[in-house]
Structure 1
Amino acid sequence: MMQHIPLDKVLFLDIETVPGAALWEDLTEAEQRLWDKKTRFQRKEDVEAGDFYVERGGIMAEFGKIICITIGMLEKNDTLKIKSFAGHNEKKMLLEFGEIFNSPRLRDVILCAHNGKEFDFPWIARRFLINGLMPPVPFQMFGKKPWEIPHIDTMELWKFGDYKTFVSLELLAHVFGIPTPKDDIDGSMVSSIYYIEKDLQRIVDYCEKDVLTLANVFRRMRQEDLLKRYINLD
């Protein structure tokens, strides 16, 4: 039962990702060849590998990078404390993010994200390894039984066993009467805002709205009231 999960142990999380390079031409010949090979059966016949990279390069951890990780944890007074890790140096950002798991409070933390099991959690673990770093313990799944993995996925919770269902965080926010996190940008705009507009702070703001929305969706699923307020720790 979700009501039995201790809320002060839940770490709400969202990431924003972009292609590893701004342009297809910036990739090495080897990277272009590997991208072409990996996505050959995903592309429509009239879509070139380079065009598909601009569109989807930020979806695959092998070819993209994380530019923002936002976390949030609830205090006993129903206040969500939010902190973001963002920057152009992915390795430095991941190191700073990984340090939080040295805190005694996060020793037995439960990670929560929307579509986290398919995207956020494996993306973070893979990018840690690619950067020559060991993923934090909560992201290490090898040898664990399914019920031993401390991950909550709100999209999975909404499925109720229906494996055909995909639901966006924005749609869940709507059906639960929660203000939309997409009042400025959405995920499809992140890459252009990062590489063309060079407005990282706008992306961070968007990521923080997603985490607040995620926490409120989870509370609604537990039949609890919306959060009274949140505090940005940056």
Structure 2
Amino acid sequence: MKKTFPAMTNLKNLVFLDIETVSGQPNFESLEPGMQALWEKKSNFLRRDEEIPLDKLYFDRAAIYSEFGKIICISVGILHYDKEEQLNIRIKSIKSDNESELLNEFVTLLHEKMDENNIQLCGHNAKEFDFPYICRRMIINGIALPPYLQIAGKKPWEIKHLDTMEMWKFGDYKSYTSLALLTEVFEIPSPKDDIDGSDVNRVYYHEEGLERIAEYCNRDVLATAQVYLKIQALELITEDHVIFVN
């Protein structure tokens, strides 16, 4: 007997997302003096007694920290059933060199397409990285947090965010499990193409490869959605039901 999907009400509010970040400036020398001093102070904790030049450490690591980095791409995936009741996913990348414009476009997209009060965000390791990073960069850019990112004062069970890495842990907090590993375990096509997260800063600043980074980000969103469905014991989305939106 063919396995069917649950009612759409269980999936229609899910928004799968992934972000790509880079250092706020192309190099350490481009930072304002105050930020240079603060990065130098932070670098003392990052070096761990290794002799790493300050400018290399900035280029390699600054993107991880929302105070020193910026978002250049947010890819979102939204599920829907077609007329044949087959589950589809529409994936769109929002990319820009202007972070403020990118964040505003992200908020506008979900405002127009979804019920903001019922949106449930889902990402891989997103509770630790993507969600707080977006919140902090919105605040830095003077953008009001939408309902689905307002978590201050809420009890843990009131926060609707989902994290496929957390779901996979089943309460075991001993180790990090990469998205690439889960796709391999589940025999899902790998999201990794010709670049990975460690390449993003170089591809962006040295190769002007924003489009290439956006494609990589889209693939991560698709992989996250497939992992989520697998964990829920649901059928995966076939390639012909994946729609990439310009």
Counterpart residue number, 1:41: 45
Distance 1:74 1:102 in 2: 16
Q: Is the 8 A contact 1:18 1:191 kept in 2?
A: yes
Q: Is the 8 A contact 2:116 2:146 kept in 1?
A: no
- Pick aligned residue for 1:97 from 106, 111, 129: 106
Letter in 2 for 1:156: E
What is the 5 A alignment of 1:49-198?
49-76=54-81, 77-103=86-112, 104-198=114-208
Counterpart residue number, 1:11: 15
Change (3 A) 1:3 1:49: farther
Select between 98-107 and 30-39 the one with higher mean Cα deviation.
98-107
- Pick aligned residue for 2:227 from 199, 202, 217: 217
- Pick aligned residue for 1:205 from 206, 215, 226: 215
Q: Is the 8 A contact 2:191 2:220 kept in 1?
A: yes
Q: TM-score, normalised by structure 1?
A: 0.95
Question: Can you list the C-alpha shifts for 1:192-224, whole angstroms capped at 9, x where unaligned?
Answer: 100000011000000000000000000000111
Counterpart residue number, 2:34: 30
Question: Can you list the C-alpha shifts for 1:172-199, whole angstroms capped at 9, x where unaligned?
Answer: 0000000111122110001110000001
- Deviation, 1:233, is 2.0
- Deviation, 1:32, is 1.0
Shift >6 Å, 4+ stretches: 2-5
Task: In structure 2, list runs of 5 or more residues that go unmatched.
Answer: 1-5
Question: Can you list the C-alpha shifts for 1:151-184, whole angstroms capped at 9, x where unaligned?
Answer: 0001111111111110110000000000111122
- Deviation, 1:40, is 1.6
Q: Is the 8 A contact 1:101 1:107 kept in 2?
A: no
Task: In structure 1, list runs of 5 or more residues that go unmatched.
Answer: none
SS at match of 1:71: strand
Question: Can you list the C-alpha shifts for 1:66-85, whole angstroms capped at 9, x where unaligned?
Answer: 00000001112211011111
Q: TM-score, normalised by structure 2?
A: 0.90
Q: Is the 8 A contact 2:8 2:80 kept in 1?
A: no
- Deviation, 1:20, is 0.4
